[in-house]
Chains A and B, each alone.
Chain A
Amino acid sequence: MEEKKHLLEQLHDIQDADKEHHLSPKKVVELSEKHGYSPAKVYGVETFYTMYSTEPRGKHIIRICENQSCHMANAKNIIQHLEKKLETSVGGTTKDGLFTLELSSCLGMCSVSPAMMIDDVPYGNLTEDRINEIIDSYKEGK
């Protein structure tokens, strides 16, 4: 049984390859049929973990940390600013489909808080100006 590629990893692969960064019902059924899992099992797994999405998402996923040291470093204001800048709220996707804004429980960047990640790239010591700069650079097609 362990020879089979790890289910979590397969879900990551499917989601990463998907243009809208999500796990569509069709893909989930395909996966379960291919490996002999019940669709309910796969669905149970994908809805347990926060990094999988059953809903379509934007091109870039922003994960902003709001945990303890970030909280103490005023993450709340940073999140509000980000929501304003992106014109969407946490959990939402921007109109142009470029970003989805999510919260993270902790990114492990507590000494450079407030911090966020855009896809795989970490950004620390966030200020409102720095956020504007970063978001604009992605908009310009980085």
Chain B
Amino acid sequence: MKIYRIHALICAGGQCISAGGNDFEAALRTEIQKHGLEEEVQIVETGCMGACEMGPMMVVYPEGTLYIHLQPENAKEIVEEHFLKGRKVHQLMWEKAEGHFPTLNEVPFFALQTKIVLRNCGVINPENIEEYIAYDGYTGLAKALGEMTPEDVVAEIEKSGLRGRGGAGFPTGLKWKLTAQAKGDQKYVVCNADEGDPGAYMDRSVLEGDPHTLIEGMAIAGYAVGANQGYVYCRAEYPLAIQRLQKAIQQAKSAGLLGNQILGSRFSFQLQIRIGAGAFVCGEETALLSSIEGKRGEPRKKPPYPATCGLFGKPTLINNVETFANIPVILSKGSSFFNAIGKEGCRGTKVFSLAGHVKTTGLIEVPLGITMKEIIYDIGGGIPGGKVFKGALIGGPSGGVIPSSQLDVPIDYEHLNTLGAIMGSGGLIVMDESSCMVDIAKFFLQFTVGESCGKCTPCREGTRQMYEILDRISCGEGREGDIEKLESLGKVIQDTSLCGLGQSAPNPVLSSIRWFRDEYEAHIKKKVCPAGVCTMTKITTNKEEPRRGRKKASTRTIT
């Protein structure tokens, strides 16, 4: 193997690319060539490093120098100063205090995390299976096939205490057990990669940064439940993720880690990608199955649950990307390793995407049970611009608001439920005093109205009614009794909607009323928006109408 003097890891995650990372990389390669350093410096394109706010970014090893906000014109200086002369370019580094430039592992944003799901993201080249294998990749699958029965694997996952990371937190081991016990000549393993929650993008980062961990997790699941066919349903908005996953599937096949008789065992597993076409509701598991079957992505009623009657009517195991990404580690390191992280009832870690009014936005992975305060202030660096924290939205359009009085509550499934929020997929949007709660609630309702598939009435009509009330309030036309109406309507929609989309749609409204009722009252009684966001006057254009999402069928006739 070739030995290089310097390893320059460039983040090639979606966010850094979108901020211009490719242009910097091209410039860096040119400079390296110009100085004849090709034999000394190795450039590695990695997946997402997490600190997206700092992007485009690069880490230079062996020492771990962190360069941030890179532009093509910076390449020359880095090569001439750092790579040739060994002098770090301080003005491009993250500065902790005046004159103090910590290496990657000393920056609090990175130092305070515990990584399982994102263990390889930003470390290895996602397009090279050998790098994944070098980091213990596929040892979990080898262990399962070589040393364990399918029942042993299910038992190990149960012991780990892992719960589904897609939102509801259903115990993963139990789900596997139910699918394994279901009777059927054909079973399927399906990965939900239709990550549509506004504010959440961890699945995208895993797919782009470490696709092999998903493949390994799904293959292990296939072995455990007795399925020989898997599908990854990925949203079409993630072309880079689809491309890297496709490449990884090819590599795994060539290496005998997917396909027939994996690693010489009797277990065979095929994996295919199915691409969505823009429908938020397809993140709901039964709607997703309809979509894989080539139908309109409308949810079905449960029961029967997918574990007994899923894809094409066969027993089907559905987990999301983050859940599957935990599996290889649980198998290779053992359930006791996993079980030691987190707390009773919620073991392991959770990835959150930190966005909004917080200093360092990006992806973080932390042990469950951590407090919101630690996430926002210790890892995220607090609120920028000297402003005051107001609330954090967790769980996207299905979630709720955590007010400043609840910042010390540990983040786990149960505590979040008692606060009227949900874990959801892990979107975490921080808001400072300049945000208006009525505006935020209205915004999410606008989203839900647009994305409701229209199959059941409570969701289709109820969310619309709630939206119209909120719209009135934000235009200064709120009436006495509107808050109560929102509450009762919300309760009915929660209780009577067919699927998770409708059942959770009122959450942002109900939780913001719960914690910020005075703000609603100010809008209604005093006709004032305390944050100064709402116009408080009727806007004449219909631009505020929900205009995204499900289309109305046009009147075109097919002849």
Contact = CB atoms under 8 A, between A and B. Distances in A.
Contact of B277 (A40, A50, A55): A50
Contacts of B126: none
A55 to B, nearest CB: 8
Interface stretch (B166-174, B322-330, B546-554): B546-554
A17 interface: no
Best-buried of B14, B18, B440, B554 by chain A (most CB within 10 Å): B18
Nearest to A70: B198
B239 A8 contact: no
B279 A48 contact: yes
Contacts of A44: 296
Contacts of B357: 72
B280 interface: yes
A139 interface: no
Given A50-B279, A69-B198, A109-B201, A9 B18 contact: no
A45 B296 contact: yes
A104 B15 CA distance: 16
Interface in A37-54: 39-40, 43-45, 47-52, 54
Nearest to A51: B278
A22 B453 CA distance: 22
A8 B312 CA distance: 16
A111 B355 contact: yes
Contact of A72 (B196, B363, B435, B551): B435
The A contact surface, by secondary structure, is mixed
Given A109-B18, A113-B355, A9 B274 contact: yes
A98 interface: no
Contacts, number: 161
B97 interface: no
B18 A123 contact: yes
A63 interface: yes
A33 to B, nearest CB: 12
A138 B418 CA distance: 50
A25 interface: yes
A96 to B, nearest CB: 24
A29 interface: yes
B14 A122 contact: yes
A103 B547 contact: yes
Interface residues of B, number: 67
A71 B53 CA distance: 17
A132 interface: no
A46 to B, nearest CB: 8
Nearest to B435: A72
Contact of B431 (A72, A115, A120, A123): A72
A129 B547 CA distance: 26
A69 B294 contact: no
A135 interface: no
Interface string A108-137: 111111010100101111000000000000
Contacts of A45: 294-296
Given A104-B237, A105-B549, A109-B18, A54 B291 contact: no
A117 B201 CA distance: 15
B447 A108 contact: no
Contacts of A14: none
Given A25-B558, A111-B15, A113-B355, A67 B279 contact: no
A8 B201 CA distance: 23
Contacts of B292: 6
A77 interface: no
Given A6-B274, A120-B239, A105 B550 contact: no
A100 to B, nearest CB: 14
Interface string A1-40: 1100011110110000000000001001100000000011
Nearest to B202: A108
Interface string A47-80: 1111110110000000100111101100000000
B545 to A, nearest CB: 11
Interface string B349-364: 0000111110001110
A49 B353 contact: no
Best-buried of B274, B279, B548, B559 by chain A (most CB within 10 Å): B548
B302 interface: no
Contact of A111 (B52, B240, B440, B558): B52
B451 interface: yes
Contacts of A51: 236, 277-278
Nearest to A4: B294
Nearest to A106: B198
B558 A125 contact: no
A23 to B, nearest CB: 11
A2 B228 CA distance: 14
A117 to B, nearest CB: 7
A103 B198 CA distance: 13
Contacts of B161: none
Best-buried of A45, A48, A91, A120 by chain B (most CB within 10 Å): A48
11 contacts: A6-B294, A28-B558, A29-B558, A47-B551, A51-B236, A68-B444, A69-B355, A105-B196, A108-B201, A108-B238, A112-B18
Given A108-B237, A112-B52, 12 more contacts: A12-B236, A25-B559, A49-B276, A50-B548, A51-B236, A51-B277, A54-B556, A68-B356, A105-B198, A110-B198, A112-B18, A124-B15
Among all A-B residue pairs, the 4 with the closest Cβ atoms? A7-B294, A111-B52, A49-B277, A124-B18
